[in-house]
Amino acid sequence: MTDGASHDSTSIVESLDIHNKHFPKVTKAAKNLLDDSAADDPTLKRVVENLFGIKLRCHVNPRRRKTLKEEELPKGMASLTPNGTLRCDADLEMDYRGKRQAVGYYYGPPRDEQNHNFCESCPLKSQCCHKTNTDGRHVIIPFAKLPNISTDDPPMAKRFQKLMKKRPSVERMIYRLKCTLGDRYLSKRGNSNYQASLVALHLIIPL
C-alpha cells in the first residue's frame, strides 16, 4: 500500500492476496468481507468471489444513485434511499419484511422497539391507508426502483444489517492503532520505550 491518491477499493484484491499468502487458512475460512460504500462495484465483487470465494458486502454507493422522492413512490411514502430505507409521510422508517418474488421489496408499517404499530395512532392514516385497513400501511417497492441492490442480498434485510454491525468495532480498533496508540503519544523516547509500547499494543489488540 502507498500513501498515494488511489481509490480505497483498489487495495482490496491486493490486500486479500497478501493476506492469503500469509494466512491461507483464514482466507479460506472467511465467508464475508465487510467494506464501506467505496467498494460498491459489481466487477470488484465478482473478482473477490471468484478469486477468494468471499462475498464482498457493502452499502450502495450513494453517489451512483439518488434518493427517490414522493412523486416516484406509492401514496403516503416520502423517500427511498439507494440502500432501500423507505420513510413515510410521518417521517418514520417503514419496516422491511422481505421480498415478494417477481414483484418487489415488501415493507410493513413503521414500528417502535416494542413492536407497536405507529399507523394505529397516526394523524395521517386517513390519507395513507384504505379506510378498511386495520393492520397499518403495507407497500411493495418494485425491484426496478432499487436497481443497484442485489435482490439476493438487500441491505435492508436483518441478516445484512447484523453482519454490517461488525464493521464499527474494526474501525474503532484501527482508530486505536492509528491515533490513540500512535507513537506521537509516547511520553518517553528511546528504543526500549518504543518496544515496550509495541508489546503493550499487542496485548491490547485481542481485547
Among 33, 86, 128, 157, binds ligand SF4 (CB under 6 A): 128
Distance separating alpha carbons of residues 93 and 108, to the nearest angstrom: 10
Is residue 39 a contact partner of residue 148, using CB atoms and an 8 Å limit? Answer: no
36/93 with CB nearer ligand SF4: 93
Does residue 89 bind ligand SF4 (CB under 6 A)?
yes
Does residue 38 bind ligand SF4 (CB under 6 A)?
no
48/128 with CB nearer ligand SF4: 128
Residue 12 contacts by C-beta under 8 Å, 6 or more apart in sequence? 33, 35, 39, 44, 48, 56
CB of 201: closest distance to ligand SF4 in angstroms?
49
**Cell representation of residue 203:** 496485548
Does residue 155 bind ligand SF4 (CB under 6 A)?
no
Residue 26 contacts by C-beta under 8 Å, 6 or more apart in sequence? 19
**Cell representation of residue 193:** 520505550
Stretch near ligand SF4 under the rule CB under 6 A, chosen from 5-13, 50-58, 120-128, 159-167:
120-128
Q: How far is CA 104 from the centre of its chain?
A: 20
> Which residues bind to ligand SF4, rule: CB under 6 A?
76, 88-90, 92, 109-110, 118-119, 122, 124-125, 128-129, 136-137
